[in-house]
Amino acid sequence: MARDEKLKERWEILVQKLSAQFGDGEELDLDAIIYLIGVQELGQVHRKFKKDEKLDLMHIAICRLLEPYGYYEFDYFDDDGWPHYIVKEQLPNLKAGEQSVLMKEAIVNYFLASEYIF
């Protein structure tokens, strides 16, 4: 199976599984999954977040997801337990479709590493 086909298959499995667990009957989109990863990485799963905190959570997730690609590096946790990252390398200019593929690949790899999917 080609790499792109395997990614697509794993992405569909992941979306179905996460949607069943967190989607209240609706299919989660890419942004919703990134948000969930941010909440997971913060570790404060049972609290409500303000709008600006939700954006921060998505930033945390993106940093964490792109860390294995060499774009970010974990720096420290602040006094409130929020992780902070430093930019190691600027992201290349990607078209929207290319960005989507990169994020989906990073998300699939994240959940493969945690053995949430296989």
CA distance from start to end of the chain: 15
pTM: 0.92
Question: According to the model, what pLDDT value does residue 45 have?
Answer: 85
pLDDT surpasses 80 at 17: yes
* Residue 118 CB neighbours (<10 A): 7
For residue 118, tell me if it sits in a domain: no
Which of 116, 110, 105 has its CA nearest to residue 37? 110
Please check the confidence at residue 70 and state whether its pLDDT lies above 80: yes
User: Is residue 28 assigned to a domain?
Assistant: yes
Q: How many domains does the chain have?
A: 1
Give a yes or no: residue 25 inside a domain.
yes
**Structure-token pair, residue 29:** 């989109």
Residue 43 lies in a domain: yes
> Residue 107 gets which letter from DSSP?
H
Mean pLDDT, residues 83-107 taken together: 94
pLDDT of residue 1: 58
Q: Given this model, what pLDDT does residue 33 score?
A: 98
**pLDDT band at residue 73 using 50, 70 and 90 as cut-offs:** very high
Which residues fall within 8 angstroms of residue 21, CB to CB, at 6 or more apart? none
pLDDT in tens, 31-68: 999 999 999 999 988 889 999 999 999 999 999 999 99
Range of the domain at 35: 3-113
User: What pLDDT is attached to residue 51?
Assistant: 93
Is position 92 within any domain?
yes
**Residue 105 forms part of a structural domain:** yes
Residues 6+ apart with CB under 8 A from 71: 87, 88, 89, 90, 91
The C-alpha atoms of residue 22 and residue 40 are separated, in whole angstroms, by 13
In this structure, the strands spanning 72-77 and 83-87 are antiparallel
- Is residue 98 one of the residues assigned to a domain? yes
Whether residue 57 lies inside any domain: the answer is yes
| CB-neighbour burial class of residue 63 (10 A; exposed 0-12, middle 13-18, buried 19+) | buried
